[in-house]
Structure 1
Amino acid sequence: MKNPLLYRLSQFIAFLMGARVFVTLLLTFALYVSTFFLFNQEESLIKFVFDFKAHGIIFCSILSILAGGIINQFYDREKDQVTKPFRTRIQNFLKQKYFLYAYLILNLVSLSIAAMISMRVFFFFLVYQFLMWLYSHKLSKIMIVNNLTFVGLSLYPFFGMLVYYRTFSFYILLMSLFIFLMLLIIDVLKDTLTKNADKIFGYQTIANTFSSRITDTVIVLLLLAAQVSTGMIIIKVGLKSIMSYYFGFSIFVQIISVFFVLNKTKNSKFINLNMLRIWIFVGIISMLANGINQHYFS
């Protein structure tokens, strides 16, 4: 006989993994850090804390991202059984219909809050949710479009906060280009690890359409483009802050990444992928440290 408490706990963990809650928590942290220390150039911490409209937009983003994770795993379920068997087994503790109920509820709550903020915010999130469904249903199987759409949707909430605060500058443009290229490289690298399963289930990617040599060339070219954008940021701001040192070290990380791409050892792709993911997280921490230093110690 099943232990009811253990079974409910398993269902709860299944929901957390199905909704990709841990990824959402990281994005939430990144949203708050970038909003206060990058986009928000005028408000003090006290004013920001009581800026309920900004918190409402971020909360709508969180709910929409959770819903997007659910609908993505719903459409990717067959592929995930091959590429992520452990996570799939845990998710099987909860029936798919409950994931769909949660998907609808999260989207409806998000849109309701957005409508209370303004109709522009409502339509912003309506478009976001539609694009996430379209990506999961169709676009994720179209070569190149899948990578560009995935990265675009990852950055969509940040664009919303940028528009909200109307903070446009050449520095932010260069930072956006850097992050876009790094996330694109990560997504293409991820496809190289799942190319066989992608091909079986009809996902067209650069990795399973072209040869390994062409795929590696594409990744190296993207890394070179990322190095150019990184160099432009350093030229723009100089080496005088925590973030500028982060970008300085980014060039070395990108060079190491090129080495891993050209290195054909067994785990080089996996190590490369996780190194770049960790480096993105280091960037968020660097932005936080840089913001605290500028706001409170300068």
Structure 2
Amino acid sequence: MNSEKENFRTQAPASKSLFYRFSQLVGFLVGARFFVAALLTFALYVSTFFLFNQDESFRKFVFDFKVHGIIFCTVLTILAGGIINQFYDFEKDHVVKPFRTRIQSFISQRYFLYAYLFLGIISLGVAFIISYRVFIFFLIYQFFMWFYSHKLSRMLILNNLTFVSLTLYPFFGMMVYYETFSWKVLLMAVFLFLVLLCIDIVKDTLTRSVDKAFGYDTIPNSFQPNTSKTIIGALLVVIMAVSVKLICRQGISGIMGYYFEAGLVIMALCIYLVIKYTRKTKFITLNILRFWVFIGILAMLFNGIENKL
């Protein structure tokens, strides 16, 4: 009987320690926005091979270590950006996202800062090995990631524009790398920019009172609800206009053509939900737009596979 008690005592701390380590790992992944980084990495690979890279074979693309290096640096920079953003937004997140904040509390903020510096240095080191131009590209990217979290995230309109621009910055880099400049690519970039901008503004409507309490000047807490509703509705109408132009003028066909055609219905639905302008309809609109971005990545993937075959 005594030996059983002793075994339980020795096993309990070990299991508790294992749970604590696992909680620290989950806390780090959540704090670094790992899953967002994974989705952006997938989107980067899909867009790079099927949109920007028109001539290179799949075999050549696989062994193009410079491209993989750039995407690797992008992933590390995004992870570092997620860490520094949660560091500055910790008090706000404690109210808006209590569950996520509780998970992150298993790791000291000091260690998050160490991870931020480590990821940033590794990213710049790899970028410098690739070329000095790539190094400068990522140095600018990291600076604005930090500056957004430190200052721009609290500034009216600039917070939304900077956030979306930083999200699309790596895609712009790939477009420059492959010198893929065309009206079709430009319009698709405008489409994605506007959808992401819409998502960010709708997200701000859900945290309106908290943002105001913590000194974040956003469109929803700086203007009347009708003004915010009008801005979101106008953006959705412009997104529909860009979709029509892509279908009619740029000859988008196949799976991507169906995506933009179906997008007209999706945006019309979002406009209807925005007119209602309740917390429930705003939450539904936010998730519909996020889901539609993910569907767009899949549509590009399957459309590219169809064209390559």
Relative to the length of structure 2, the TM-score reads: 0.94
Aligned counterpart, 2:170: 157
Match of 2:46 among 15, 33, 46: 33
1:266 to 1:75, Cα distance in 2 relative to 1, 3 A: closer
Q: Which residue in the other structure is 2:188 paired with?
A: 175
Task: Give the whole-Å Cα distance in 2 for the aligned partners of 1:264 and 1:109.
Answer: 45
Matched, 1:96 2:109: yes
Check whether the contact 1:171–1:236 (CA below 8 A) recurs between aligned residues: no
Determine if contact 1:83/1:197 at 8 Å carries over to the other structure: yes
Among candidates 92, 96, 100, match of residue 87 of structure 1: 100
CA contact (8 A) 1:237 1:244 kept: no
**Contact 2:206–2:279 (CA<8 Å) still a contact in 1?**
no
Asked if the contact 2:211–2:221 (Cα under 8 Å) also holds between the matched residues in 1, the reply is yes
Residue 47 of structure 2 corresponds to residue 47 of structure 1: no
Assess if the C-alpha contact under 8 Å between 2:81 and 2:146 holds in 1.
Answer: yes
Q: In structure 2, what is the Cα distance between the partners aligned to 1:159 and 1:42?
A: 18
Contact 2:246 2:252 (C-alpha < 8 Å) held by counterparts: no
What is the rounded CA distance, in whole Å, between the counterparts of 1:285 and 1:240 in structure 2? Answer: 15
- Pair 1:177–1:239, CA change in 2 (3 A): closer
Return 5+ residue gaps in structure 2 as ranges. 1-11
Q: Percent identical across equivalent pairs?
A: 59
Q: Following superposition, which runs of at least 4 residues in structure 1 exceed 2 angstroms of deviation?
A: 236-240
For 1:271 and 1:81, the matched residues in 2 are separated by 23
Alignment partner of 1:215 is 2:228: yes
User: Aligned with 1:68: secondary structure?
Assistant: helix
The offset of 1:266, in angstroms, is 4.1
CA–CA distance in 2 between the matches of 1:82 and 1:265? 21
What's the CA shift string for 1:159-209, capped at 9, x where partnerless?
Answer: 011111011100000000000000000000000000111000000000001
Question: Shift of residue 263 of structure 1?
Answer: 1.1
Q: Which residue of 2 aligns with 1:123?
A: 136
CA distance in 1, matches of 2:116, 2:222: 32
Look up the match of 1:295: 308
Q: Distance in 1 between matches of 2:119 and 2:257?
A: 38
Secondary structure of the residue aligned to 1:93 is coil
Asked which structure has the greater CA Rg, the reply is 2
Q: Which amino acid aligns with 2:101?
A: T
Q: Does 1:276 align with 2:289?
A: yes
Shifted more, 231-240 versus 47-56: the winner is 231-240
Q: How much has 1:238 moved relative to structure 2?
A: 3.5
TM-superposed CA distance for 1:240, in Å, is 3.0
Question: Which residue is 1:225 aligned to?
Answer: 238
How far is 1:264 from its partner?
3.6
- Contact 2:255/2:299 (<8 A) preserved: yes
Q: 1:239, CA displacement in angstroms?
A: 6.0
Q: Say if 1:193 and 1:266 are closer, same or farther in 2 by CA, change over 3 A.
A: closer
The code of the aligned residue for 1:81 comes to H
Partner of 1:17: 30
Once the two structures are overlaid, the 10-residue window that deviates more, 262-271 or 29-38, is 262-271
Question: 1:217-273 CA distances to partner (integer Å, 9 max, x unpaired)?
Answer: 000111111111111101124463110110111111100000010014441000010
For the residues of structure 2 that align with 1:82 and 1:35, how far apart are their CA atoms? 38
In the alignment, residue 282 of structure 1 is paired with which amino acid? I
Q: TM-score, normalised by structure 1?
A: 0.98
Q: Are 1:61 and 2:103 matched, yes or no? A: no
Q: Deviations over 1:67-108 (max 9, x none)?
A: 000000000000000100000000000000010000000000
Measured at CA, do residues 108 and 266 of structure 1 come closer, stay the same or move farther in structure 2, by a change above 3 Å?
Answer: closer
Q: Which amino acid aligns with 2:224?
A: S
In the alignment, which residue of structure 2 is the partner of 1:194? 207
